[in-house]
Amino acid sequence: MKSPTTRKDRRVYRVLVGPVIGLCCNALVAQSTLELLNVPYGAAIRPMGQAFAVLFFALIAVVAGLPASIWGVCGARGWYRWIAILGIVLNLTPFLLGHRLFHWAVRVNGLILKE
């Protein structure tokens, strides 16, 4: 009995796993960071929970998404390889995205960081 998925279909799935993980981690980092915009203007905050969320999602991207993207690059041909390379970039950016968005949200809201 023939499998419902062909070899080419499995190759496409293998290439798309890494970028999807990276995109989801970046979206979750952005969502957890942009919640700081709901804090009242000029409030004093200790963003330990937000920092943990950024670190957690960045680690998921590096531990799960980066190897999946590298695996996709090794098995891809043609323009599928560029999608897998985009996955590598997406999996390396959650920490940078969270850091930049955090400083932007603090500046826009006039938040005071307590130690």
By residue count, the chain amounts to 115
Packing angle, helices 66-75 and 79-92, rounded to 10: 170
Question: Is the pLDDT reported for residue 86 higher than 60?
Answer: yes
Query: Which pLDDT value is given to residue 5?
Result: 63
pLDDT digits (tens, 9 = 90+) for 15-47: 899 999 999 999 999 999 999 999 999 999 998
CA distance 115 to 112: 10
Query: Which pLDDT value is given to residue 6?
Result: 66
Q: Where are the domains of the chain?
A: 23-113
Q: What is the pTM of this model?
A: 0.85
Closest CA to 40 of 90, 115, 114, 112: 112
Mean pLDDT of 108-115: 89
CA distance 78 to 107: 43
Question: Is the pLDDT reported for residue 1 higher than 70?
Answer: no
